Amino acid sequence: MDRIRFFFAPAIAALLFFSGAGGRAFALDFPPKGVELNGFLQGNYSLDTARRNPDGGSFKLAEERVQLKLDADKDPFRVFLKGDFFHDWIDSRKFDSELREGYAEYTSGKWDARLGRQIITWGVGDLIFINDVFPKDYAAFFSGRPLEYLKKGVDGVKFGIYPGFASFEVVAIPFFTPNVYPSPQKFWMFDPMPQIAGRPKEEPATSLRNTEAALRAYREVAGFDTSVYFYRGFFRQPSAIPDNPLAPSRLDLIFPRLSVYGASAQGRAFFDGVLSLEAGYYDSRDDESGTNPFIPNSQTRFLIGYQRQLGEDLTASVQYYAEYMHNYSRYVSTLPAGLPKARRLYELTSLRLTQLLRHQTLRLSWFMFYSPSEGDFMLNPEVKYSFTDNIWAALGANVFGGGHEYTQFGQFGRDDNTYVQMRYEF
């Protein structure tokens, strides 16, 4: 709550400043010049189609939501607030709110700065992230929320610097935000130590030392959009550390230190398609030697993707992604008996087909993840139709299977769901 107040304060101060500058007309002429108010009403429901949830419920999601977006602009300053107010029928069964984004921005000729909660998306992967080290909400992704809910804002400051020969984004994040994963009440998931209930979670404390730093430099090189990236911070997926490896009574959920060094390129290639390349070295700073089996080893991750238009309003894209674990033999030799063993090379492929019809008001899409190394998959077919310029609805399904009970998609084998999203935008 404190951090929300911290970030709200400059935004609200700026807003008051703008509305003051808007002057007498504020009450009569709302919103005043330079201020825009938009948003949507949304219903979002996701029904189990394979089996009831572990807690006995039959919905992954059932909620109504209002989003309000306020955009106030007075050159060179800008304030943007995006807040959701929702009623959840499954978990809390009450009204709640969430600040999705809220920042103040200053723009100058050669640089700009954005302070507050903001969504940052880096890298060239399609639902595969290497250098996008920013928080994700996988619970939203697996239970049929609109795609934008996969991304969560970071609480920090971002500077853009544009000297001409290249462009730079410099991000500092003093407040740590972990990823959101599906809850064990709603998703059947693999748990290697189900008998241990005590699982205190400890997020990195807010301090100068723990402030996350991220840098992206980008420019065009030989017709390709190229970027190099650097990140120094923490894994956003917690590691479970047993208090006593032989007879554990408690699992401490911690977020190990991480640095990422990476690069990406995207451009036209092969029959006028779009080729995407990305790689990153994940330096697991709390387990450099690879001898702690409870903390991820360092990895090299890479991705190659290709997108092509096959016909009018029909687009196909494929991706191949791999994670190579360093110090694999040390990982194997220290892994306690009874825990599933990760492979040295994890591989994942994806296929996306999108067809637009009826003057692009009807969208049929098919997305599939398949892991050749694990043998598991996720399918996401979806139909979306815009009834009018303001009203659309989407009907889709998430289907999981293959692999083993401990693999990424295989563990969700009983979590298939069918979802509906309906939205009125204004």
Partner 1 sequence: MRRFFILTVMFLLLAGNAFAIDGRAIMEKSEAAFYYPGRDFKARMVMKLVSAGGQERLRELTMLRKNYGHPGGPQKYFIYFFRPADVKDMTFMVYKYPDRDSDRWLYVPAINMVRRIAAQDKRSSFVGSDFSYEDVSGRNVGDDNHVLLREEKLGGRDCYLVKSTPKKTDVEYGWKLSWIDKASFLPLKEEYHDRRGEIYKVFTADEIKTVKGFPTITKRTMKNIQSGHRTEVAFEKADYNIGVPDSLFSERFLKQPPKRWIE
Among the listed residues 162, 221, 333, 339, the single contact to partner 1 using CB under 8 A: 162
Nearer to partner 1, 115 or 254 (CB): 115
Q: Which residue has the tokens 């619970």?
A: 139
Q: Is the Cβ of residue 268 or residue 341 nearer to partner 1 in the bound state? A: 268
Neighbouring CB atoms inside 10 A of 407's CB total 22
Is 390 an interacting residue with respect to partner 1 (CB under 8 A)? yes
Residues 240-299 that bind partner 1 (CB under 8 A): 266-268, 271-274
Nearer to partner 1, 96 or 220 (CB): 220
392 counts as binding partner 1 under rule CB under 8 A = yes
With beta carbons less than 8 A apart as the criterion, state whether 423 and 67 touch: no
Stretch that binds partner 1, among 44-52, 118-126, 251-259, 325-333 (CB under 8 A): 118-126
CA distance 379 to 402: 11
At residue 236, the 3 state secondary structure works out as coil
Structure tokens at 237: 């997926």
Helix, strand or coil, per DSSP, at residue 376: strand
Query: Nearest to residue 190, comparing CAs of 412, 376, 377, 415?
Result: 412
Which secondary-structure segment (H or E) carries 4? helix 2-22
Tell me the C-alpha distance between 87 and 347, whole Å.
39
What whole-number distance in Å separates Cα of residue 426 and Cα of residue 416? 32
Backbone angles phi, psi at 199, to 5 degrees: -140, 70
Q: Distance between alpha carbon 381 and the CA centroid of its chain, in Å?
A: 20
Compare residues 268 and 404 and give the one whose CB is closer to partner 1.
268
Spatial neighbors of 129 by CB under 8 A, at least 6 apart, are 123, 136
Between 266 and 319, whose beta carbon lies closer to partner 1? 266
Of 9, 16, 147, 193, the residue at the interface with partner 1 (CB under 8 A) is 147
Is 303 among the residues that bind partner 1 (CB under 8 A)? no
Binding mask 29-68 for partner 1 (x = CB under 8 A): ---------x-x----------------------------
Nearer to partner 1, 35 or 251 (CB): 35
Q: Is 383 in the site for partner 1 (CB under 8 A)?
A: no
- Taking CB under 8 A as the binding criterion, the range among 2-10, 172-180, 312-320, 345-353 that sits at the site for partner 1 is 312-320
Q: Does 405 bind partner 1 (CB under 8 A)?
A: no
Name which position in 24, 75, 165, 244 contacts partner 1 (CB under 8 A).
75
Query: CA 290, CA 331: separation in Å to the nearest integer?
Result: 6
β-sheet bridge partners, residue 272: none
CA distance 422 to 146: 10
361 binds partner 1 (CB under 8 A): yes
- In whole angstroms, the minimum distance from the beta carbon of 381 to partner 1 comes to 21
- Residues of the shown chain interacting with partner 1 in the complex, contacts defined by CB under 8 A: 38, 40, 73, 75, 105, 107, 112, 118-121, 124, 147-148, 150-151, 160, 162, 167, 218, 223, 225, 266-268, 271-274, 307-309, 311-313, 315, 317, 356, 359-361, 386, 388-390, 392, 423, 425-426
